[in-house]
């Protein structure tokens, strides 16, 4: 193996990182290292450094490597491990430890490969298994738990395995299970006389998760090691998991105060401050993190994003809802800010209006919406958060999402994404960020269906397949479907299940009860307890009733899954062969069986296309209207619907369809141009003005019609000076533009 | 912006090279047909346009036709050459792919130099065409290439949008019903960019233009725009219009230096004159035509 760690030039700066490793509970750890470890675990940095320095001359290479690692000399440690492994193809422990070094430098794939190599040499090595489980756990992958269980079955005394179990339990909200795992870990730590710091840190997190103060555990830790900032970092990790970013920030500040060289805490603090929009402080901590740990891609990417922050423009607009005024801050890329701003602002305002009323909550702070044309920049904002949707994320009052320009038209409906994220703003803030993940996502999905820009209960086939295979989770465990998915698509399925749970609550107990359930989450109540308190029904009974509800609602498709697939296939093949008449009945039957399928292969679309080709335009319109009512929003299909409605003389309905396209395809020049003209003809000058201004902001080659459009809209709105200016701009660009010339002469005539 | 002398003629050569596969073959023919048809309408004569496509577009035929054309031209005429198809570049030589032997950049340069017309517009819409731009430069010659260098080897989209530019009013941004080379270039490059953006695909071609005043080449006349008015009264009015357009250019040049109110007042004064004159021209020509 010729693997080399990537070593940056700043390595000399990391010499002080003697505390970078966590407590090493590996029973195979060399005895010579223990006294040095003890200094380190007690926070006696100088003594630890002196002690480890002496071991650099040890005759045992692995001891040398561990000492170099503990002293922060990653390059030297890497080299010794590399030579050791090279000299002994069957060496297991050096491989496992080398893999741990890779883990610390954020190179998870390489670490996983080395753990895998160790397991190929010795398939039952529990430490390699445990290490691999750690990699999976770090990435929030479902394979982590079975591997830990396997390791524990072989050796029930593995302290680290109990700690990893407890940590995953805590992440998934299984607090009682976490407590049991910690009890087992504590017994072993006491027996082996090992430092209890990690057990205490997780104890503290458990207390906090139960809504109690973690202070007693923090005190015990700091009594043992006054420089153990990791406890605060651990507590912050669980706060971030619950999206409690402000609380996490306070904890992370404390972490770096207690232990200034805890680079991972600096990095997390920087990311967290960025989430809260506190940019300058974020930069300071990210730079500190980079100075000590140049290996973290999260830190590097965040700093790169900050370097380009000037490319974004920030606007603050007040929006008034009844008697209240809220500030909305938009952070949009300069190249598209002028086009997107009116639509983003309008939808944000509408969402605030809708959710304030539906959930009886007034926002307490300005809302910030950020849109990133480059998906990688957006990805930096969501780094380290598990199971977050790929399109948007909400950090309390800050929403970050992909911009429509970052994806091809039709790839995503930015309006629905914003609506979804704005629902999170409310569910998080109503509960002071105590809402469980499943309910926050559930309400967001439910609101997309009920009040969003593409209303309709759209449920994709993978959710139906999961329902069919009985893969829906009990309500009390639904969070784990987001946090540590155990099969492909489980996160997506969990979104749908959560939305359907909210739909079930609305249908069974009424919408108001959804708000009542939401308010149960005060940081002390579990999902099970909240369900019981709200609906006076045990979680098991709730699950049973929900199962009946979804199976009734989707009875048709569940009972005829094979037939639905066959009809879809038959319609698809007929369309491919342009045998339009043969496509109609299979497509119609597929729609009847499963109308909620509005994805790219929707039978609604096939039916509409076939009917249109058969010159049955009015039936084709009915098919596309049904598609739209079910939540379908494909821009191509809706453009077709708009055109057909126009041709059928249903101009106003066509205009509505075209207006809705702005929330899917807002950078389409043709759309803005057409809409501007339509709205102007319909006497909707203000809306027309918005469209022509968007056209102008798109900086199209042919600027004259856009200026001319703005001039006419402003004229209708009584702004003569603005109108004149844009009219003259139109003619300065295109001096022979006849309609503009005619308007100019008319304007002069009116003036004289 | 000085236009070409009214008495001079414009001669156009369009060559669609080897497609290599039926889909490209057909596209190249279509684009060539559109460009040739626009050129005929602009010149007012089919005799001024040579179009070579498919098997007829062999190197020998290209040489022969250009030499024949050269013998019919004089220095005051202008020449437009449009190359559509695939090109290649091996680091030294550019080759325009034709049925049979290809033509190299040096072969083509010699042919262009044989054309007596001082004003020349060469559009190389092929892949790797950027390799020729410096080699073909010459005073009063405008060279347009679909790619920025010989390294952009992917089949280009430029010709498709060039054809669109000369076949509709989409590129006519000043609305005078005439599409110039400058307008067609601006339109085609913007459409190529948008097409890649719409597919969120990395752009594999970046067009270039070298040479001054591409606006002097008329590539298409739209609608009822007359080639040259017979009516001396209209001709006088058009000359008057030309001088107002020059006034307009002067006002526009002052935009940065004038206070805003003054700029728009001056703009209005010139534009009202232009609109009134246009009304008069239209009434003489009839039917709302725009000469």
Closest approach of A409 to chain B, Cα-based (Å): 7
Q: In what order do the strands lie in the sheet with B103-104?
A: B87-89, B94-96, B103-104
pLDDT at A413 exceeding the cut of 70: yes
Per-residue confidence (pLDDT) for residue A411, from 0 to 100? 85
In B, which residues are within 8 Å of A738 by CB distance? 175, 278, 288, 290
CB contact at 8 A, B206 and B185: no
Instruction: Print pLDDT tens along chain B (291 aa).
Output: 444 444 578 999 999 999 999 999 999 999 999 999 999 988 888 889 999 999 999 999 999 999 999 999 999 999 999 999 999 999 999 999 999 999 999 999 999 999 999 899 999 999 999 999 999 999 999 999 999 999 999 999 999 999 999 998 999 999 988 999 999 999 999 999 989 887 778 899 999 999 999 999 999 988 655 445 567 888 888 889 989 999 999 999 999 999 999 999 999 999 999 999 999 988 887 654 444
pLDDT category of residue A383 using cuts at 50, 70 and 90? low
**How confident is the model at residue A13, as a pLDDT?**
27
CA nearest neighbour of A607 among A629, A624, A632, A628: A624
CA distance to partner chain A, nearest, from residue B172 (Å): 8
B271 neighbourhood in chain A, CB within 8 Å = 728, 731-732, 735, 741, 744
Which of A420-424, A580-584, B169-173 is the least confident region? B169-173
Whole-structure pTM value: 0.81
What is the distance between the alpha carbons of residues B227 and B178, in angstroms, rounded to a whole number?
10
- Is the pLDDT at A6 greater than 50? The verdict is no
Element (H, E) at B83: strand B78-84
- Inter-chain touch A735–B177, beta carbons under 8 Å: no
Contact between A666 and A415 under an 8 Å Cβ cutoff? The reply is no
Q: Strands, E, within A299-403: which ranges?
A: 312-321, 324-333, 367-372, 392-395, 398-402
CB contact under 8 A, B175 and A408: no
Q: Kindly report the nearest CA distance between residue A730 and chain B, in angstroms.
A: 9
Q: What kind and span of H or E run contains B16?
A: strand B10-16
Query: Nearest chain A Cα to B184, which residue?
Result: A701
Given a cut of 50, whether residue A495 has pLDDT beyond it is: yes
Whether residues B252 and A702 touch (CB distance < 8 A) is answered with no
Q: Which residues of A touch B278 (CB under 8 A)?
A: 736, 738, 741
Which residues in chain A touch residue B199, judged by CB atoms under 8 angstroms apart?
A: 408
Cβ–Cβ of A736/B174 closer than 8 Å? yes
The Cα angle at residue B204 between residues B203 and B208, in degrees rounded to 5:
95
What is the per-residue pLDDT for B65? 95
CB pairs under 8 A between A and B: 74
Angle (CA) A534-A536-A542 rounded to 5° is 90
> Residue B206, class by beta-carbon neighbours within 10 Å (0-12 exposed, 13-18 middle, 19+ buried)?
middle
HSE-CB of A692 using CA atoms within 13 angstroms: 27
- Pair B114, B95: CB distance under 8 Å: no
DSSP state for residue A325 in the 8-state scheme: E
pLDDT at B281: 87
Counting residues of chain A whose pLDDT is more than 90, the rounded percentage is 78
B93 neighbors B106 (Cβ within 8 angstroms): yes
pLDDT in tens, A22-52: 788 888 889 999 999 999 999 898 999 999 9
């Amino acid at each position: 193996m010729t693997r080399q760690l990537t070593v940056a030039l700043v390595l000399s700066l990391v010499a002080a990182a003697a505390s970078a490793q966590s407590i090493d509970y590996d029973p195979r750890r060399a005895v010579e290292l223990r006294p040095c470890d003890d200094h380190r675990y007690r926070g006696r940095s100088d003594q630890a450094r002196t002690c480890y320095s002496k071991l650099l001359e040890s005759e045992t290479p692995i001891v040398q490597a561990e000492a170099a690692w503990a002293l922060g000399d990653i390059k030297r440690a890497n080299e010794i491990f590399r030579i050791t492994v090279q000299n002994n193809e069957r060496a297991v422990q050096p491989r496992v430890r080398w893999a741990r070094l890779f883990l610390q430098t954020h190179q998870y794939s390489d670490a996983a490969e080395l753990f895998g190599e160790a397991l190929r040499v010795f398939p039952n090595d529990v430490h390699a298994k445990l290490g691999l489980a750690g990699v999976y756990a770090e990435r929030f992958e479902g394979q982590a738990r079975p591997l830990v269980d396997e390791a524990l079955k072989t050796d029930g005394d593995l302290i680290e395995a109990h700690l990893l179990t407890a940590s995953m339990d805590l992440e998934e909200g299984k607090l009682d299970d976490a407590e049991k795992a910690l009890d087992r870990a504590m017994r072993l730590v006491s027996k082996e006389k090992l430092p209890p710091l990690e057990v205490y840190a997780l104890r503290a997190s458990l207390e906090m998760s139960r809504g109690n103060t973690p202070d007693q555990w923090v005190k015990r830790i700091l009594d043992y090691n006054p420089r153990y900032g990791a406890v605060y970092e651990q507590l912050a990790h669980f706060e971030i998991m619950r999206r409690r970013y402000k609380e996490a920030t306070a904890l992370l500040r404390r972490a770096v105060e207690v232990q200034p060289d805890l680079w991972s805490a600096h990095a997390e603090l920087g990311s967290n401050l960025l989430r809260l929009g506190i940019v300058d402080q974020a930069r300071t901590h990210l730079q500190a993190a980079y100075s000590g740990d140049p290996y973290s891609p999260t830190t590097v990417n965040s700093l790169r994003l900050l370097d380009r922050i000037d490319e974004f423009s920030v606007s603050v607009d007040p929006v008034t809802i009844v008697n209240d005024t809220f500030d909305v801050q938009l952070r949009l890329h300069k190249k598209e800010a002028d086009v997107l701003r009116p639509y983003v602002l309008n939808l944000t305002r509408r969402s605030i209006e809708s959710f304030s009323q539906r959930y009886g909550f007034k926002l307490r702070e300005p809302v910030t919406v950020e849109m990133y044309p480059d998906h990688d920049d957006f990805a930096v904002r969501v780094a380290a958060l598990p199971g977050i949707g790929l399109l948007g994320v909400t950090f309390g009052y800050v929403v970050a999402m992909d911009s429509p320009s970052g994806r091809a038209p039709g790839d995503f409906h930015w309006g629905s994404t914003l609506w979804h994220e704005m629902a999170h703003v409310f569910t998080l803030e109503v509960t002071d960020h105590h809402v469980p993940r499943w309910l926050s996502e559930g309400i967001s999905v439910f609101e997309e269906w009920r009040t969003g820009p593409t209303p309709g209960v759209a449920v994709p086939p993978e959710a139906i397949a999961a329902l069919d295979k009985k893969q829906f989770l009990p309500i009390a465990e639904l969070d784990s479907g987001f946090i540590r998915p155990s099969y492909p698509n489980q996160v997506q399925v969990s979104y749908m299940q959560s939305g359907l749970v909210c739909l079930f609550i609305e249908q069974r107990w009424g919408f108001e009860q959804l708000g009542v359930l939401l308010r149960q989450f005060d940081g002390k109540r579990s999902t099970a307890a909240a369900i019981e308190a709200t609906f006076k029904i045990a979680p098991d009974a709730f699950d049973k009733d929900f199962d009946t509800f979804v199976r009734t609602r989707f009875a048709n498709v569940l009972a005829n899954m094979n037939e639905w697939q066959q009809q879809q296939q038959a319609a698809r093949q007929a369309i491919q062969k342009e045998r339009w008449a043969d496509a109609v009945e299979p497509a119609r039957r597929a729609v009847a069986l499963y109308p909620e399928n509005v994805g790219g292969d929707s039978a609604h679309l096939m039916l509409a296309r076939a009917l249109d080709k058969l010159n049955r335009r009015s039936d084709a319109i009915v098919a596309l209207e049904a598609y739209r009512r079910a939540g379908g929003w494909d821009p191509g299909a809706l453009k077709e619907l708009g055109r057909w409605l126009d041709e059928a003389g249903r101009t106003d309905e066509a205009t509505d369809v075209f207006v809705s396209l702005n929330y899917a395809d807002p950078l389409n020049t043709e759309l803005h141009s057409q809409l501007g003209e339509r709205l102007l003809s319909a006497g909707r000058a203000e809306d027309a003005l918005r469209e022509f201004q968007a056209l102008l902001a798109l900086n199209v080659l042919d600027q004259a019609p856009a200026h001319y459009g703005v001039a006419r809209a402003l004229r209708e709105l009584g702004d003569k000076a603005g109108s004149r200016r844009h009219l003259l701009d139109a003619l300065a660009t295109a001096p022979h533009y006849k309609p503009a010339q005619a308007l100019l002469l008319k304007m002069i005539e009116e003036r004289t | 912006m000085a236009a070409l002398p009214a008495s001079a003629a414009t001669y156009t050569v369009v060559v669609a090279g080897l497609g290599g596969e039926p889909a490209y073959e057909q596209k190249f023919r279509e684009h060539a047909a559109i460009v040739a048809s626009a050129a005929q309408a602009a010149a007012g004569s089919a005799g001024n346009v040579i179009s070579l496509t498919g098997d007829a577009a062999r190197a020998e035929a290209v040489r022969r036709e250009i030499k024949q054309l050269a013998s019919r031209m004089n220095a005051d005429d202008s020449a437009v050459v449009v190359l559509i198809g695939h090109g290649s570049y091996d680091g030294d030589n550019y080759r325009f792919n034709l049925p049979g032997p290809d033509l190299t950049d040096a072969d083509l340069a010699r042919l262009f130099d044989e054309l007596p017309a001082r004003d020349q517009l060469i559009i190389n819409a092929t892949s790797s065409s950027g390799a020729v731009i410096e080699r073909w430069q010459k005073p009063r010659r405008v060279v347009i290439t679909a790619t920025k260098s010989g390294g952009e080897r992917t089949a280009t989209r430029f010709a498709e949008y060039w054809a669109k530019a000369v076949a509709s009013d989409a590129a006519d941004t000043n609305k005078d019903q005439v599409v110039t080379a400058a307008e067609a270039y601006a339109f085609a490059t913007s459409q190529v960019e948008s097409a890649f953006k719409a597919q969120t695909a990395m752009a594999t071609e970046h067009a270039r233009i070298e040479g001054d005043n591409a606006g002097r080449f008329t590539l298409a006349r739209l609608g009822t725009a007359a080639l040259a008015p017979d009516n001396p009264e209209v001709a006088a009015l058009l000359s008057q219009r030309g001088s107002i357009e020059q006034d307009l250019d002067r006002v526009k040049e002052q935009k940065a230096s004038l206070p805003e109110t003054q700029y728009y007042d001056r703009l209005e004064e010139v534009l009202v004159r232009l609109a009134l004159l246009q009304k008069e021209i239209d009434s003489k020509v009839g039917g709302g035509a725009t000469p």
